[in-house]
Structure 1
Amino acid sequence: MATDVRNVEEKLDENLLAVLPKGGQVVSVSPSGMSDYVNTYRIEVSMPDGSTLVFFEKEGSGQEGVELMESAFTSETTTYEFIPEHVPRPIAKGTYKSRPDVHFFVAEFFEMIDDDIPRPDSYMSAVAALHMRSMGKSPNGKFGFAVNTRFGNLEQDNSWTDTWEEFWTRQMNDFLEREDAAHEGEYHAELERLRPLFFDKVLPRYLRPLESDGRSVTPCLLHADLWPGNVKYKEDGETVCVYDACAMWGHNEVDLGVFRNPRYPLGKPYLKEYWKQVPISEPEEDVDSRNTLYMLRNQILLSTLYPQDPKLREIVVSNMRLLVEKVEAEELEAANRNMAPIQAHL
């Protein structure tokens, strides 16, 4: 157990000190980063041999705090299992002895370069390593995760599912319902028109072929929130640090949706780098449309988290419309082809 030797009135909680290195002395605690949903801290510990160890702590309260810490600990522990060179080592989760309504998660602290988005080769080497090393290692061969994880403070239903189409359809339905609730039932005529078409036409068109005609989706571990705020260079400027996962076992291409999002300065160079290392799923000709489909997850969740920004909802509608129109154009083309032989004999 560590001791808190700072000259301050409020020392670190006993249960938190118990997960820090034995014999260590806490010499500094300072805020670390920004979060809308939890408090975060950098904890510096001086060791008897003269070395210094640094740890990162998240802290949340109430039942939401329990679930946020469970999401963080389980996501980071599972991700660390496959790419330990890129993920800060998780230490523990727990509850304060002095304040039983406050809960924490602790991991090693990596010093990172905040203002530099990693190059495509550095960024995507970590993503590809996570996917390839975990491919086929879902604990039960299914899609889902051991716990429900969080995107921001939004719970993600990770109930185990046998097929990828079933899993993704359930999540999209859940996310869109919560997006609607976040907008307090505000009626959006175009979204209401597109929603049934999205479920009846778009999802079967782009998900079902992945698991038809002898093809299948092998679950791999997804980070599921790979925006640039969660991928930074370590101090060496070469190796990337990947953190704040809201993990699940699913189709590897889900993690690529964020790279298409114009909200982030990533785009095609990052996708091209990934495809150098990981094969495109069959049918390959659908990959661009699947990329748009998976991008929608991130955009729907952002519209849910920030309903006061109407542009975010319009982006969802625009991309949903794009996919619906693409499928309807294919249907029209197929109908015209079928009619051509009939007309030729009239």
Structure 2
Amino acid sequence: MATDARDVDENLKLDENLLAALPEGGKVVSVKPSGESDYCNTYRIEVELPDGGSEVFFEKEGSGDQGWGLVESAFTSESATYEFVPEHVPRPVSLGTYKSRPDKHFFIARFIEMVEDDTPRPESYMAAVAALHSRSMGKAPGGKFGFPVNTRFGDLEQDNAWSDSWEEYWTRQMKGYLDREDAAHNGEPHEELERLRPLFLEKVLPRYLRPMETDGRSVTPCLIHADLWPGNVKYIGDSDTACMYDACAMWGHNEVDLGVFRNPRYQLGKPYLKEYWKQVPISEPEEDVDSRNTLYMIRGQIMLSILYPHDPKLREIFVSNMRLLVERVQDEETAQSSQQGPTQSHL
């Protein structure tokens, strides 16, 4: 067990269970706030090792059932991604509960110095993403879609119950997100969203998900990060290697991770997508890739509307993209009907 060697009040010293997760014989010499989080506390912990060296750790701390969900999500997600791309993910160390405060929980990982104000170039950014997908492809437990625990996007719980079908899994998630988006707005009427919702669920999702699992095609689940906005991907020190963190992982279709690169909210765009496709083939049917990219982008936009319901622009953004896909499918159906011509009856 490590000891807390800081000259501070006993009430401010680190909890015994937290010290037990740090290097044996180490001495905690510094504890400082690290980063910003709307949902939990985060700290940088420096430990002096018995050999005279030092090691630095990152701690995420949460309270109550919600806090446990947050730190469990972080530990399980980071452990899964670290298994496949250890060069791109901070090494997870421990998940636990304070001995002195049974209602407080922690997640510890190795602290990595990152360049905070610089978004990695497409080559570095997508090397990490493509490596995660390629190395984990086909290695999902039982070949299923889902994850062992319900992970968190911010503090929004993600239903990761296992499924054999990608269409079933994604449709269930989207229905759940739309229900929670409605609840977050206290059932406030939105005529266009009410019109689009059944069309989106009953026409758009089958149109762009089902073809990947029919006519001899299938979706092979890989491990996806599921929150790859630029705040979660940074250069490691002065290297060209990108570090990914704060995952809300799941086993799913690899293209889900590409939705964020289309989102105009972030300064990413086509150069990042093009770099990814150099390393990972587009799923079949290839002609649907643009629509699938929009479909997966909508997930993140709905989640933001749930987390920040007082910003009406967030709701309008995802509604406009739902409308785009609904109209695209309707235009396609109209074109097919025209090609078939009028139905003739034979007496």
If the length of structure 1 is used for normalisation, what is the TM-score? 0.98
User: Deviation string for 1:166-187 (max 9, x for gaps)?
Assistant: 0000000000000110011110
CA displacement at 1:67 relative to structure 2:
1.1
CA displacement at 1:236 relative to structure 2:
2.1
Task: Give the one of 53, 64, 84 matched to 1:51.
Answer: 53
2:65 aligned partner: 63
2:135 aligned partner: 133
Letter in 2 for 1:6: R
Gap regions ≥5 residues in structure 2: none
Percent identity over the alignment is 76
Contact 1:118 1:232 in 2 (8 A): yes
The answer to whether residue 146 in structure 2 is matched with residue 122 in structure 1 is no
Letter in 2 for 1:306: Y
SS in structure 2 opposite 1:131? helix
Paired with 2:328 and 2:254, the residues of 1 have a C-alpha distance of 23
CA displacement at 1:324 relative to structure 2:
0.1
User: Deviation string for 1:222-248 (max 9, x for gaps)?
Assistant: 100000000000102311111000000
Paired with 2:342 and 2:179, the residues of 1 have a C-alpha distance of 42
SS in structure 2 opposite 1:85? helix
Paired with 2:300 and 2:68, the residues of 1 have a C-alpha distance of 24
2:6 aligned partner: 6
Task: Give the one of 1, 4, 17 matched to 1:15.
Answer: 17
Paired with 2:313 and 2:30, the residues of 1 have a C-alpha distance of 42
Moved over 2 A (4+): none
Map residues 44-193 of structure 1 onto 2, 5 A cutoff.
44-193=46-195
User: Deviation string for 1:170-224 (max 9, x for gaps)?
Assistant: 0000000001100111100000000000011100000000001000000000100
CA displacement at 1:79 relative to structure 2:
0.5
User: Deviation string for 1:66-118 (max 9, x for gaps)?
Assistant: 11111111100000000000000000000001111100000000000000000
Gap regions ≥5 residues in structure 1: none
CA displacement at 1:49 relative to structure 2:
1.6
Paired with 1:169 and 1:204, the residues of 2 have a C-alpha distance of 9
Letter in 1 for 2:161: S
Contact 1:58 1:106 in 2 (8 A): yes
Contact 1:61 1:103 in 2 (8 A): yes
RMSD across aligned positions (CA): 0.9
SS in structure 1 opposite 2:99? coil
1:279 aligned partner: 281
CA displacement at 1:8 relative to structure 2:
0.8
The answer to whether residue 223 in structure 2 is matched with residue 228 in structure 1 is no
Map residues 296-311 of structure 1 onto 2, 5 A cutoff.
296-311=298-313
Paired with 1:139 and 1:171, the residues of 2 have a C-alpha distance of 19
1:208 aligned partner: 210
SS in structure 2 opposite 1:140? helix
The answer to whether residue 248 in structure 2 is matched with residue 246 in structure 1 is yes
The answer to whether residue 35 in structure 2 is matched with residue 37 in structure 1 is no
Letter in 2 for 1:77: S
Contact 1:113 1:237 in 2 (8 A): no
2:258 aligned partner: 256
The answer to whether residue 255 in structure 2 is matched with residue 266 in structure 1 is no
1:219 aligned partner: 221
Aligned length: 342
CA displacement at 1:27 relative to structure 2:
0.4
Contact 1:137 1:220 in 2 (8 A): yes
Paired with 2:121 and 2:343, the residues of 1 have a C-alpha distance of 53
Paired with 2:319 and 2:66, the residues of 1 have a C-alpha distance of 30
Paired with 1:199 and 1:235, the residues of 2 have a C-alpha distance of 44
Deviates more, 1:230-239 or 1:219-228: 230-239
CA displacement at 1:32 relative to structure 2:
0.4
CA displacement at 1:139 relative to structure 2:
1.1
